[in-house]
Structure formats: C-alpha cells, structure tokens
Amino acid sequence: MKEGFFKGLKIYTVFLITMLAVFCYYQLNGKLFYNTSDTEHEGNNHSSKKSHGRRYGRSYFHK
Amino acid sequence: MTGVIKHNASNTPLKKVCPKCGKDVLLYTHYRAMSVGCVHCNNISFFDANQNLHSPTKTKLNSKLKVLFNIGDVFTIENIKYRLINYIIKRETKYSTSWIEYTLFHPTEGTLVLNESDGHFNLLKPIDYFQENKKTSFLYSVDSIPTKFSLYSKYKYKVVEAQGEFLYGVLNNYNPSCEDYVSPPYVLSCEQSASEVIWFLGEYCSHAEVQSWLSKTVALPSTEGVAPNQPYATKYNYDSFIKLTGLAVVFLILFQLLYSGFYTAHRAVSQNRFDQSDSLATRALVSPNFDIKQSGAADFIINSFLDNNWIEANFTLINETTGEQYYFGQALEHYSGYEDGYAWSEGSNTETVTVPEISAGTYHYNIEITNDSVKRFQVLHVEVIEGVSLMSNFWITLLLILVVPVITWLLKSNFDRRRWYNSDYSPYDEE
C-alpha cells in the first residue's frame, strides 16, 4: 500500500477492526447483538425468576 | 538555458535601475526576464537589446483582491527553495471573477504557479502536453495513473494588476482562450493564443500545505464555496476510506460464509409434539432429554395449526447437569377470514426463537402455555436446532460498517453538486 493510505483514517481503521473483532467474538461464542426473544439466563442457584410476567420454579417443572 | 549557467539567480538577484523612478529593482531571473514591474512606482518596463530597461508603462493597483505574499518570498516545496518573482491578478471577461497567480521560480527546476481564488490554492506546473481536438473529457496520466478529466470551464481573461519580473511581455495583449479540465484534486489548464498553446497540471493545496512551504506565518483567506478541483476530503484519503470499508465488508462476508459452512453444526437435536386434545387444563408440558453438543446459539422453531386462535408458550430450558436455566417465550397467532370479496389472514403458525450462549450438555425444557380459555390449540411442535449461524449479528455488523460510508457518500454527492454549481458544463444539468 502506498504511503499515506491510512492518512486521517486511523480512528476509522480502529473502529472497523473493533467491529469485526466483536462480531467474530459474538459469532464464535453464540452471543446475540440484539436478542428479540428477551431470553434470560441464570446459573444453578435455583432462585425464582420472573419471565414474561410469570414466576418459574424449578421444583414445579423439574422431572 | 544559458541564463542558468551564467547567472545563478537563486540567491543573488541582479540589480537594475527602474527607468521611471530610478530605484533599484531586483531580478531573480536575471536577464531571462522580459518585462519588470517596479514595486516602488508600479511601472512595467521592458529589456532592450542592450539589456537595459526602457519604456515604463504605469499600471494601476486597482484590484480588491489582497496580495498575500511579497516579491522575493521563499517557498520551500519538496525541499526545493522557490523564489516568488511576480504576481498577476486576472479577471475573467464573462463572469468578472478574479484570481491571483503567483509565479515561483527556481533556476534549474523552472517555474511553478501558485493560484489563489476565493481562498482556494492550486499549485500548477507547465507540462509537455498537446491535444489537437479537445474533448469534453479525456484520460491523462498523473503519476502513471490514467485519470479522467472533465471540462469545467472555457474563458478568456484580462490582466488587472501585475508586479515583479516576467519571463514574457506581461502587458502584451495575448488574449488567450483558456480551458480548465478537472479531476479532483487535479486540474489541467490550457491557455491557447495565436502563437502558442500552454498546458498546466495543477493540484489542490490545503492551507496547511501552503503554510508549510513558508518560513513565516501568513494569514490565508478563508475559503468560499467549493473549488473546481477541490477534493471532498483533504484531511483523509477518500479512496483509502472506500478500500478499507470494502476490505472490512469482504472479511465480514468471508467470515460468515466460513462460519456458516464449516463451524456451525446446524443440526436438529430435538423434535417434540404436544397435544391439548384431551383437556384444556393441559398447559404444562415437559420435553424428553436431548443433547446439545455444540456450545453457542440454538433455534427453537415453534409450530402449531391455529385457526383464528392464539397461544403463548413460555419456555424454561434446563441443563440436566449444571442446573443452568434459560427463560424465553413466544406467542403464536393466526387469524383468517373472508371479507368484502377478499380472503385475508394475519399472524403465523410458525415462529423461531434464537436462544444464545447455550453451553453443551444434556437438556430438557418445560413449556407453560397460555391460551384461549375455551379453545384448544390442538397441537404444538417444537424443534430445536443447535449450532445456528446467527445471521442477525451479520446483518447488524454490516449495517454498522456501512452507516459511515453511506453518510459520507451522501455528503460527497452534495459536495460534488456544489463543485459543479459554477460550471457551464455541469453533469448535473443533464439530469
């Protein structure tokens, strides 16, 4: 690339690299930028949690 | 070139006496000058065969344009010191617009012309070029790159004011026909008189660039409008900007293709059917266990056969080993009818929920159904697809990457229209 290719474009280059890096990270980890389904995730503390206005309890549904 | 050998004009100017006021005039071009404008009395004199100045003619300093530089100022351009030897103020005959041309001289490098118009600067140099039958657009190689130039203006001019030493008879009424062809940041300018044709190649210069050539700070005038060859961006390289964006888009598409084709499994891991045919009270459903082998996102495709009916299914996905839980829900509704001679329908019997960040393991899910209290939904199919390729992330990233170029393109289009606003040959007039 000829001299001056990045003239005035350093911030834009950083922006593009950041965008692509974040995109790759999200894809490889199965994360969503925008979750339309309003999915919620919790660990195994079995705490009650509201979802869509309803209370879920593991004891009720667990087999 | 004898003048170069006999007279090193770069540092030691030749002193001559003005035949009108008797004061010294300094000639950096020595005897190559054909006419000399005295900075003391504003008379222009000519050299005779004996190298004496004669026939002084009074010129008027009647232009409203401000002369920015002094005769003798040094401009250091690409490490070569040029001396400002004259300035000419020219006025176009048709539209009466005026501009200033400063001639910069170096004994071996030749002359350059620094042109200032409405605060915009161009640095021009004479080139070996000839075009017999001029076209409105043509290719000319700049730095070995074929560049398309388009006709911007045709005009004639009059010299309004001139000072300094000239390599030609500045007061001769050449009355040349001029044509300017532009390809930002370049301009090709042609001056054609009865006896000669001269072509110049010019390049637009920013104020910072002009200032960098000078050893002292000069208050340069602010710019007005858009110059014919003014590039859209002077602070950054527009071509590089487009190439960088293109590279980013190509990388994005390639990554997504490889990711979808080789990385993600996109495999159905669970398919279940639930019925509500027996009792309306059946609103809590539990799936058998299934394995998700690839960590990542999974699609839950929910399908029913609703006829003017609705349901809402709230899921709890549970990892059998770790107890991790994922909560999500989806409503389905489908209505149809026949009204005023037209069949209509709305809603859908199939919806997909993408659940992100599921770690590999054995799962089951519970569904809590909310539906019409008197109308059964009959059947509900749920299919789980692991290793989905998250196209929504791709589209959002592509959109974000393209936002800046699209805005820039719109601004550049507007800028180009303004560039051609003063031209009689604007491509936008044909639209």
Q: Distance, in angstroms, between B51 CA and closest chain A CA?
A: 48
pLDDT in tens, B101-143: 999 999 889 999 999 999 999 999 999 888 777 788 888 899 8
Which chain B residue has its CA at the smallest distance from A63's CA? Answer: B286
Residue B34: pLDDT band by 50, 70, 90 thresholds? confident
Residue in the structure block whose two tokens are 């071009």: B29
| Beta-carbon separation of A23 and B325 below 8 A | no
Residue in the structure block whose two tokens are 């004994």: B107
| Beta-carbon separation of A20 and B259 below 8 A | no
Query: In this complex, which of B263, B296, B323 lies closest to A46 when CB atoms are compared?
Result: B323
Secondary structure (3-state) at A48 = coil
Chain B residues within an 8 Å CB radius of A41? 324-327, 357
% residues pLDDT > 90 (chain B): 60
pLDDT in tens, B264-322: 989 999 999 988 765 666 678 899 999 999 999 999 999 999 999 999 999 999 999 99
Q: Distance, in angstroms, between A20 CA and closest chain B CA?
A: 7
The complex's ipTM works out to 0.71
Distance spanning both ends of chain A, measured CA to CA: 63
| Beta-carbon separation of A26 and B297 below 8 A | no
How many beta-carbon pairs below 8 A join chains A and B?
154
The model carries a pTM of 0.73
Q: What is the mean pLDDT of chain B?
A: 88
